Amino acid sequence: MHVVIMAGGKGTRLAQVNSELPKPMVPVFGKPILEWQIRCLCAQGFRRITIVTGHLREKIRDYFQDGSAFGAKIDYFEEEEPLGTAGALFALKSRLADDFLLLNGDILFNVDVNRFVSFHRNSGAAATLFTHPNDHPFDSGIVIADSSGRVTNWLHKEDPRTWYRNRINAGLHILSPEVLNSLNGQKADLD
């Protein structure tokens, strides 16, 4: 399965601490977040990776190159101007003929990705989101789902809230190419 990692954002909050690194390249226990992701994916058999880059792209490209040192085959899509998640995926549409794994480039995870893929395939859904509770749901996007797990609404962090189950998008998604047909190429966030 093809993996697309979104690593093109500016990381504006992080820039106050370190403006010389893109957020996915911030080291955690001596390795960039993005390296932890790639190593976890490769260990589970996911080696075909496209990294969407933008701000400070050369830091990512210089570090990972073609990915062979990490056991991966990495290519890049470089945003000249920020396109947002949906805009970048629309631009990658011709490279994504089958279901693909989409990751936010600034998350640490250690999950059974193959189990996640099996769940997606068995569900027959066009999109599957990995969700989790967090300790700050009032400034995060809340995913609202029915009793069968089907998403019925998405509250952005700016939206007014009453009470909802603490279910946050974890930044791991599996999407069918049919989802891309609804995108129009404009700058937009997939959420």
Average pLDDT over residues 71-86: 89
Instruction: Answer whether residue 15 shows pLDDT above 50.
Output: no
Cβ–Cβ contacts within 10 Å for residue 16, how many?
8
Interhelix angle 57-64/33-43, rounded to 10 degrees, is: 40
Give the pLDDT mean for 18-22. Answer: 77
Residue pLDDT, tens place only, 25-57: 999 999 999 999 999 999 999 999 999 998 899
What are the E-state strand segments in 96-141? Answer: 100-104, 127-132
Q: Is the dihedral of CA 156, 157, 162, 166 positive or negative?
A: positive
What is the value of pTM for the model shown?
A: 0.90
pLDDT tens digits along 151-175: 998 888 888 877 778 888 899 999 9
Whether residue 52 contacts residue 4, with contact meaning beta carbons closer than 8 Å, is answered with yes
Asked whether the beta carbons of 60 and 22 are under 8 A apart, the reply is yes
